[in-house]
Chains A and B, each alone.
Chain A
Amino acid sequence: MSDIAIRVDGLGKRYRIGALHASNYHTLRDSLVGLFQPREKQPNGHIWALRDVSFDVKQGQVLGVVGRNGAGKSTLLKLLSRVTEPTEGEAEIHGRVGSLLEVGTGFHPELTGRENIYLNGAILGMKRTEIERKFDEIVEFAEVDKFIETPVKRYSSGMYLRLAFAVAAHLEPEILVVDEVLAVGDAEFQRKCLGKMGDVAREGRTVLFVSHNMSAVLRLTDETIVIDKGGLIMRAPTPEAIDFYLSRGFSQEGQRSWESDEVPFNAAPFRPLAVRVHNPQGKVVNTIRSVEENTIEIEYGLSAPVTGLRVGIYLMSTRGEYVFTSFDTDDAAEFERLTVRPAGRYTSRCTLPANFLNEGRFVIGINASSYRVKRYFQDEQALTFTVDAAGAPGMHWPEARLGPVRPRLDWHIEAIEA
């Protein structure tokens, strides 16, 4: 019988609204413009970022943690890594906690790679002798041996990140907390990080894996907890939990709209208003037929003119695979025409072709950005909808078809020898 690594009992953290505002005040000015209203005032002046959360993690277990932005995941991790203290409840941690949520924390740009390895290691709680022992391994993992005596301010962002991850990954704690490190870095490095995490798990260490990357959560964890609005709402085998998470809490009408308090302050001047799925009759629906042409519509406001804006969608299956990404200015001529998009209210609409998606549930993610300038807004789980494949190719065989798409392809059957 395995032992307990983390025991969380009724954990809660309350913030004063004022305290939350203080950390945002630098962008408050921007957000007072036009459409933007200050965050909704809570009647009592307090907000529970996390409340009444209880769960156990066994030693050697890899537990996934999923939830939307602002659901309370980061607060939970901050409490478990002792960065901040709980308002109520308690948690028991057996062993050293290493967290990859602080990749690169304490790196100083003026110091060399070597110096930063020692500094960062010490900040993460490694002993000097421990760092010395693993030094070569860290340098090798990060692939920065030629630049080890160069100040990290001259590193490319990829090198910087590799080095930062390498130090954190070699901490060898009994409990590893990973928060969204894989969102950055190139594909090869991401593979390497996932590999390292897999090793960690195989060595019997406990891992809390927090990610928006559902396929990574599916690959690395067996069990997942879902956090929403500060509470733990589900603990289940990962596929079940992810399906529940992706389809939960979205309105049934095939529409998702954003209140002003749901939009981060730094999204300005972009302000998402709604995303909808329309059937060919123009009705807003949450189930579409795969044999028909359907429309996805994003409604948004701009409080100031934006240069080079692109507004688009990601489509993801509930298994965590991306199906496609598409932006409203993918057409070069259209992009030229809208170099600067003036302030105002807009809709960007696209057509999902008929005979395209397989049956199942899909997630629409929203992104509004100016390439290489700024990502104004992103919500990877804005809306889910269901595809009904009635009438789709091959439906006379009542079997599940693999893959997220189910195109009607032109097959020609010829007899070459009769």
Chain B
Amino acid sequence: MTTTGSSRLTTAESQKGNMTVQSDSSVTLIRPPRGWQAINLRDLWLYRELVYFLTWRDIKVRYKQAVLGIGWAIVQPILTMVVFTVIFNKFLGVKPDAGIPEQYYPIFSFAALLPWQFFQGALQRASSSLVSNSNLLTKVYFPRLIIPSSAVAAGLVDFGFSFLIMIGLMIYYGVPFTLTLLWLPLFLLVALLTALAVGLWLSALNVQYRDVQHMVPFLLTIWMYASPVVYPIDVINVSKFWQVVYALNPMVGVIQGFRWALFGTNPPGWMFAISMGMVLVLLVSGIFYFRRMERNFADLI
């Protein structure tokens, strides 16, 4: 029987002498984590292709198993738009923003459904992503942030199809194509970051408390009514205070931005700035919380 202590002494010395052979970048140090950690950018960069492959897998699998395939990405928003128009516009008499003719309600609601359904799908997938990929988490190392990130990114394909419908609707209703449309990617990015930020929180919480997955559909329903999806944003004009509170919902800024880019109404102003600030807070805290919790994922899941 040999003890390992004595052999280490000699090998540690030899290692020093050979330091030039081993490039420093390939040395991984494994030690107990301490405190809060920021993102390990080097690792994220090394595994960048994995984001692409996992996103690609999610999209491919989703459409492979469904009979209607891509059709779902088209049918879903259209049907929702029809239902909203009948219930909220025809029955309840909800009108679009001032400056948009009432018969434009379908495209008015679709302009909000576009980012909303992307956000909803992305958040749903992201919050369950860690648990549904538990076989990966318990067996291989890679930056865990990749899992919720690719779950969010996988929604972009659906968004692309919905956007084609939007173009069709704009032609049908004769909405002019203006230069403000070029702002859309920015608002889409904000929606994506919001879904990622909340998704980071919820996915990490879901590992420990499976209650989260029961909470998410409920949360999304409330969230939708707290966002100007079926009604115009100027409905909320009770007081400045409530407008500020309302704007804390980042999706308020996103939807306001979409409607502005498409119809030129209600340009994003201070409310959008508040929404942006909120996204930043959620995202930074989400990353730190996620990084704090990820060391236990494999043990808890």
Within 8 A of A (CB), among B50-94: 50, 52-54, 56-57, 60-61, 64-65
Write the nearest CB–CB distance from B27 to chain A, whole angstroms: 5
Task: List CB contacts (< 8 Å) of B124-165 with chain A.
Answer: 135-142
Partner of A55, one of B1, B4, B64: B4
> How long is the Cα–Cα vector from A171 to B57 in the complex, in angstroms?
20
Interface contact B31-A89, CB-CB below 8 Å? yes
Cα A89 to Cα B31 with chains together (Å):
6
Q: Are A122 and B50 in contact (CB under 8 A)?
A: yes
Does B61 lie within 8 Å of A102, measured CB to CB? no
Known: A106-B135, A122-B53. A58 touches B11 (CB 8 A): yes
Nearest to B294 among chain A residues (CB) is A85
Residues of A within 8 A of B56 (CB): 119
Q: With the chains together, A9 CA to B1 CA distance in Å?
A: 19
Nearest to B138 among chain A residues (CB) is: A83
Q: How far is the CA of A80 from the CA of B52 in the complex (A)?
A: 26
Contact of A1 with B14 in the complex, beta carbons under 8 Å? yes
For the complex, would chain B's binding face be called helix, strand, loop or mixed by DSSP majority? helix
Determine whether B221 belongs to the interface, using a CB cutoff of 8 Å to chain A: no
Residue of B nearest to A226 (CB): B1
With contacts A87-B32, A92-B27, A93-B27 taken as known, whether A106 is within 8 angstroms of B136 at the C-beta atoms is: yes
Which of A107-115, A214-222, A375-383, A393-401 faces chain B? A107-115
Map CB proximity to A onto B11-51 as digits: 1 under 8 Å, 0 otherwise: 11011011001100011111111000000000000110110
Would you call B8 an interface residue if the criterion is a C-beta within 8 Å of the partner chain's C-beta atoms? yes
Q: Are B18 and A3 in contact (CB under 8 A)?
A: yes
Q: Does A337 contact B (CB under 8 A)?
A: no
Rounded to whole angstroms, the CA-CA distance of A93 and B30 in the bound complex is 8
Interface check A82, CB cutoff 8 A: yes
A254: B residues at CB distance < 8 A: none
Q: For the complex, is B2 an interface residue (Cβ under 8 Å from A)?
A: yes
**If A78-B298, A82-B30, A102-B140 touch, does A235 touch B2 (CB 8 Å cutoff)?**
yes
Find B4's partner among A56, A99, A108 (CB 8 Å cutoff).
A56
Q: How far is the CA of A54 from the CA of B7 in the complex (A)?
A: 11
A1, A54, A97, most chain B CB atoms within 10 A = A1
Q: Does A152 count as interface, using CB distance less than 8 angstroms?
A: no
* A106 / chain B contacts, CB cutoff of 8 Å: 135-136, 140
User: A90 on the interface (CB 8 Å rule)?
Assistant: yes
The 8 Å CB contact of B61, one of A56, A81, A110, is A110
Q: Are A111 and B57 in contact (CB under 8 A)?
A: yes
Residue of B31, B54, B140 touching A124 (CB-CB under 8 A): B140
With A19-B300, A90-B31, A235-B4 given, is the CB distance from A119 to B295 under 8 Å? no
Q: Which of B7, B18, B31 contacts A56 (CB 8 A)?
A: B7
| Partner pick for B49 among A23, A108, A122, CB 8 A cutoff | A122
Residue numbers in B under 8 Å from A125 (CB-CB): 46-47, 140, 142
A23 and B11 CA atoms in complex are apart in Å by 39
If A83-B298, A108-B61 touch, whether A94 touches B8 (CB-CB below 8 Å) is: no
Whole-angstrom CA separation of A128 from B56 in the bound complex: 13
CA of A102 to CA of B137, assembled, Å? 11
Q: Does A84 contact B299, Cβ atoms closer than 8 Å?
A: yes
Q: How far is the CB of A96 from chain B (nearest CB, A)?
A: 7
- Give chain A interface residues in 107-155, CB to chain B under 8 Å: 108, 110-111, 115, 118-119, 122-125, 127-128
Q: How far is the CA of A128 from the CA of B48 in the complex (A)?
A: 11
**Do B32 and A86 touch across chains, with their CB atoms under 8 A apart?**
yes
Which residues of the other chain, B, contact A232 by a CB distance below 8 angstroms?
Answer: 4
Partner pick for B15 among A3, A22, A84, A85, CB 8 A cutoff: A3
> Are the C-beta atoms of B32 and A85 separated by less than 8 Å?
yes
Min distance, Cβ A210 to any Cβ of chain B, angstroms: 14
Chain A residues with CB below 8 A from B29, complex form: 90-93
A139 to chain B, nearest CB (A): 18
Contacting B at CB under 8 A, from A217-241, are: 232, 234-236, 240
Given A91, A95, A111, which contacts B30 in the complex, CB threshold below 8 Å?
Answer: A91
- Interface contact B140-A94, CB-CB below 8 Å: no
Chain B residues positioned under 8 Å from A11 (CB to CB)? 30
A174 with B26: CB separation less than 8 A: yes
Partner among A81, A119, A240 whose Cβ is within 8 Å of the Cβ of B140: A81
Q: How far is the CA of A122 from the CA of B56 in the complex (A)?
A: 12
Q: Which residues on A sit within 8 Å (CB–CB) of B30?
A: 11, 79-80, 82, 85-86, 90-93
A108 to B27, CA, bound (A): 32
B56 to chain A, nearest CB (A): 8
Residues of B within 8 A of A87 (CB): 32
A337 to B295, CA, bound (A): 53
Tell me, yes or no, whether B101 is within 8 Å of chain A by CB.
no
Contact A7 B140 (CB under 8 A): no
- Any B CB within 8 A of the CB of A201: no
Inter-chain contacts of A335 with B (CB < 8 A)? none
Q: Hey, what's the 0/1 contact readout for A168-190 against B, CB within 8 Å counting as 1?
A: 00000010000000000000000
CA–CA, A85 and B140, complex, Å? 13
Residue pair A84, B8 in contact (C-beta under 8 Å)? no
The listed residue with most A CB atoms (<10 A of its CB), out of B26, B27, B31, B52, is B31
Cβ–Cβ < 8 Å partners of B52 in chain A: 122
Known contacts A89-B31, A123-B53, A125-B47: A83-B4 contact under CB 8 Å: no
18 contacts between A and B (CB under 8 A): A1-B14, A4-B15, A55-B4, A56-B4, A85-B33, A86-B30, A89-B32, A93-B28, A97-B141, A106-B135, A110-B60, A118-B53, A119-B54, A119-B56, A127-B49, A174-B26, A235-B4, A236-B1
Q: Using A23-B301, A55-B4, A101-B139 as known contacts, list a sample of 5 further A-B pairs with CB atoms less than 8 Å apart, ordered by residue number in A.
A: A83-B137, A91-B30, A93-B28, A93-B29, A115-B60
* A interface with B by C-beta (< 8 Å): 1-4, 7, 9, 11, 15, 19, 22-23, 54-56, 58, 78-97, 99, 101-102, 105-106, 108, 110-111, 115, 118-119, 122-125, 127-128, 174, 232, 234-236, 240, 244
Q: Which 7 A-B residue pairs are closest in the complex by CB-CB distance?
A: A82-B141, A102-B139, A90-B31, A122-B53, A91-B30, A93-B28, A84-B298
